[in-house]
Amino acid sequence: MRARLALDVSSQGFRVVEVALRDKPAEMLRASPKGTVPVLIDTDGTVIDESLDIMLWALRRSDPEQWLAPELDDLATMRSLIRHFDEHFKGHLDRYKYPNRFVDADAKLSRSEAVISLQLLESRLQSSSYLFGNRVALADMAIAPFVRQFSKVDPPWFASLPLPNTSRWLAAILDSPRFVRIMQPNAA
Ligand SMILES: N[C@@H](CCC(=O)N[C@@H](CS)C(=O)NCC(=O)O)C(=O)O
């Protein structure tokens, strides 16, 4: 989702090849043996197989909404918040969402750890509509897909959390025409 959002705003043409993760095509594994999606193959054969790198690749080519130049703070600060969500929040999200896939999972504990991360967002969103100012930037679009997944595990419980600004921020992103567009099957 985050890769598609950045490809969309930067108007990079691309062809989507949907893959079944249970049956990864040989062409994908030849390009990226680590076997995760998304994988972007550029016209010159360059392979980019991390979603954040695909965002950066697209936005460095064209960044009409200045996602890389936020109103508040800078790209390095955004990348540090994104890193926290990629390395910490995502692990807890997976353990909360799929406890059976982990021998060591404690879903309740992971849910609480994830909420601590969400408080970082809540405090930033007290003074601005988006994480780094009053317009969308890289961090919003890189992090919101994870928060969306988290909110969908138990929506009434999520709605009961004292995170009003985070809920408002998430709804604004999910309801935005760009997000709605990229969520359509085979959106390109
Ligand atoms: N850090 C990677 C993570 C990608 C990732 O884990 N993708 C999942 C799907 S959301 C995947 O491909 N899993 C491989 C599998 O389930 O076999 C990125 O953001 O690109």
- Closest atom of ligand 1 to 21 CA is 17
55: nearest Cα among 14, 13, 17, 2: 2
- Cα torsion 71, 114, 181, 186: sign: positive
Rounded-to-integer distance, Cα 1 and Cα 4, Å: 5
Residue 38: is the preceding peptide bond cis (ω within 30°)? yes
- Residue 23 Cα to ligand 1 midpoint, Å, equals 14
Phi, psi angle pair for 186, to nearest 5°: 60, 25
Query: What is the domain extent for residue 40?
Result: 2-65+178-182
Residue 77 is predicted with a pLDDT of 98
Residue 127 is predicted with a pLDDT of 97
106 and 82 co-located in one domain: yes
Q: Whose CA is nearest to atom 17 of ligand 1?
A: 21
18 and 85 co-located in one domain: no
Rounded-to-integer distance, Cα 70 and Cα 176, Å: 19
57 and 114 co-located in one domain: no
CA end-to-end distance (rounded Å), the chain? 12
- Closest atom of ligand 1 to 37 CA is 12
57 and 99 co-located in one domain: no
- Closest atom of ligand 1 to 51 CA is 20
Q: Are 95 and 110 in contact (CB under 8 A)?
A: yes
How open is the CA angle 65-70-73, to the nearest 5 degrees? 175
Residue 70 token pair: 């936020």
User: Could you tell me if residue 31 is inside a domain?
Assistant: yes
Residue 186 is predicted with a pLDDT of 67
Domain count, the chain: 2
Residue 146 token pair: 């994870």
Rounded-to-integer distance, Cα 39 and Cα 73, Å: 30
Block residue for tokens 């980019």: 48
137 and 46 co-located in one domain: no
Ligand 1 site, residue 94, Cβ cutoff 6 A: no
Ligand 1 site, residue 21, Cβ cutoff 6 A: yes
pLDDT tens for the chain, residues 1 to 188 = 999 999 999 999 999 999 999 999 999 999 999 999 999 999 999 999 999 999 999 999 999 999 999 999 999 999 999 999 999 999 999 999 999 999 988 999 999 999 999 999 999 999 999 999 999 999 999 999 999 999 999 999 999 999 999 999 999 999 999 999 999 976 66
32 and 95 co-located in one domain: no
| CATH code, 34 | 3.40.30.10
Q: What's this model's pTM, rounded to 2 decimal places?
A: 0.96
| CATH code, 138 | 1.20.1050.10
